[in-house]
Amino acid sequence: MSMINLLKKPQAKIIAAVVAAFLVVGWTAYTVMAGRATYVLEVNGQALGVVQGKAIVRAALAELKAEASKDLGRPVRAGRQVALVRYTSSAAETEATAPGTGAGQTGGKPGQTSAAQGQANGAATAPQGLAELSNSAAVREALRTLSPLATDGFMIKIEGQDVVGLLNKDEAQAVVDELKAEEAMRIKQRGGSVASLEIEQRVTVEAAPIPLDKLRAKDEAKRILARGTDKIETYVVSRGDSLWTIANRHGMTVDTLLKANPEIRNSATISPGQKLNLIAASPYISIVSVEVKTVKEWIPFPVQVVEDATLWPWQVVVQQPGVGGQKEVTYRIERRTSDRQQKTSVLSERILSEPKVQVEVHGTKRAPDLGTGTLYWPVPTGRLTSGFGWRRLNYHTGIDLGAPRGTEVSAADGGTIVFLGTKGRYGRTIMIDHGGGHIVTLYGHLNGFAAGLTEGSTVQKGQLIGYVGSSGNSTGPHLHFEVRIDGKPVNPLTYYPAR
């Protein structure tokens, strides 16, 4: 019994000692964790990420300074406030420290608060969504995005706003001077002379600390002033692209795309492999110029028409050829480069040679009323492949009758041939006037014409006039058939109620 008691007493002491040790360690850990701080790294009030302590920020700043100093060959210093907003486990506090300006220095004002202090007391963590910057390299890369460092240089200011900085004063001034000189050269290349040329905005070059993210070489500074941004995005045109599809794919309007690429006018002018800008320029400066330009212009000759009832309406005889005149015109042209506005006025005009009138004889002979008013199906074996009216984006002014190449085409009614030849997108075409120009039928995409027919020939309803083909703008053999009433296309199927 006593032996057991002797054993139990030492065990009790050991257990008590262990428990006491655990309590001490636990309390120490709690007090350490309770006092541990988390900081949100900010540059000029913009949060970059979360760090644990000031030392890591000081190290990153020191590395950035050394690196930038070596690259530039000149000293750099803090140019923007670097602050640490402190969060503890019990509350959020602002320590607007400036690690870049010395250990422990405080830049905060009495009563300064952070967004976190607007939360309820007892906030335990920093704002969500910020990256954790766990080492000096991560802090350094975060600081690069909004460089807190600066060096002495010269800032180009537009209307008092800092835009871009350069190291050399002469180069900074040359940026502005060269932009004006380049615009003057463009005026001369257009054949004009410069009357005046000024930058519309107030531009100054001032000695100032230049944040490293605003420091540029001369040529890049010129591009920034001229475009309004140093960001350039391009798109390479692929087969089948149009301005609408490109704009839609990139969340733009066609208007915006055209402004970004003023050299293009419509989809027909773009081709595979061509590069398009996706960001429209919004220049910081606008150069207003006045140029004087003298050009020689053609004066069109007037036309005198003489009617002749012995000729058909499609017959025109030039009785006396006209001769164009010439004049010398001096223009005043005012331009603004920022929005490409142009205002043109005539300063003087001098006639160099007068135009001579052209006399034309126009026929007025009426086609005889040979039509019956009812129409014959022009391709008896043809099937309707496309109707009258809207087809996707185009308006179809007739109907298409599919048939093999060489199939006979007949006159829909009796009349006079008023056109026989090639007619633009219709290809080989015949037009028949069925009486006084009131009803005219058109037969397009023909492979050829029936023998013996000419303009002025009269035909009977159902008479052979040509053969189905695919001439002009056509995707395969068919007849394009139109009916025009007083010159306006109407649906031909209204004349064929059974079809």
Q: What is the pLDDT of residues 423-460, one digit of tens each?
A: 999 999 999 999 878 899 999 999 999 999 999 899 99
Range of the domain at 330: 289-363
Assess if residue 33 is contained within a domain. Answer: no
164 with 113, same domain?
A: no
Assess if residue 191 is contained within a domain. Answer: yes
Assess if residue 25 is contained within a domain. Answer: no
Q: What angle do CA 129, 135, 139 make, to 5 degrees?
A: 60
95 with 115, same domain?
A: yes
Assess if residue 11 is contained within a domain. Answer: no
268 with 162, same domain?
A: yes
143 with 159, same domain?
A: no
pLDDT at 17: 42
d(CA 479, CA 69): 79
428 with 449, same domain?
A: yes
469 with 432, same domain?
A: yes
Question: Could you tell me which of 291, 294, 289, 349 has the C-alpha nearest to residue 325?
Answer: 349
- CATH number of the domain to which 477 belongs: 2.70.70.10
94 with 139, same domain?
A: yes
Assess if residue 158 is contained within a domain. Answer: yes
Q: What is the mean pLDDT of residues 136-141?
A: 88
Across the chain, how many H-helices and E-strands are there? Answer: 7, 29
Burial of 429 (0-12, 13-18, 19+ CB in 10 A): buried
319 with 358, same domain?
A: yes
Among 223, 248, 277, give the residue marking a domain's end. 277
Q: Is 295 helix (H, G, I), strand (E, B) or coil?
A: strand
Most confident of 101-115, 268-282, 319-333: 319-333
Among 85, 117, 147, give the residue marking a domain's end. 147
397 with 482, same domain?
A: yes
Assess if residue 32 is contained within a domain. Answer: no
Assess if residue 266 is contained within a domain. Answer: yes
350 with 407, same domain?
A: no
Q: What is the mean pLDDT of residues 178-193?
A: 94
pTM, entire model: 0.54
141 with 53, same domain?
A: yes
Among 122, 147, 172, give the residue marking a domain's end. 147
- CATH number of the domain to which 194 belongs: 3.10.350.10
Dump pLDDT digits (tens) for 40-94.
Answer: 998 888 888 899 888 888 888 888 889 988 988 989 988 888 888 887 544 445 4
215 with 184, same domain?
A: yes
Q: Write the CA distances from 401 to 360, 385, 484, integer angstroms.
A: 39, 6, 17
pLDDT band at 130 (very low <50, low <70, confident <90, very high): confident
pLDDT band at 226 (very low <50, low <70, confident <90, very high): confident
Assess if residue 299 is contained within a domain. Answer: yes
Dump pLDDT digits (tens) for 317-347.
Answer: 999 999 999 999 999 999 998 777 789 999 9
Total domains in the fold of the chain: 4
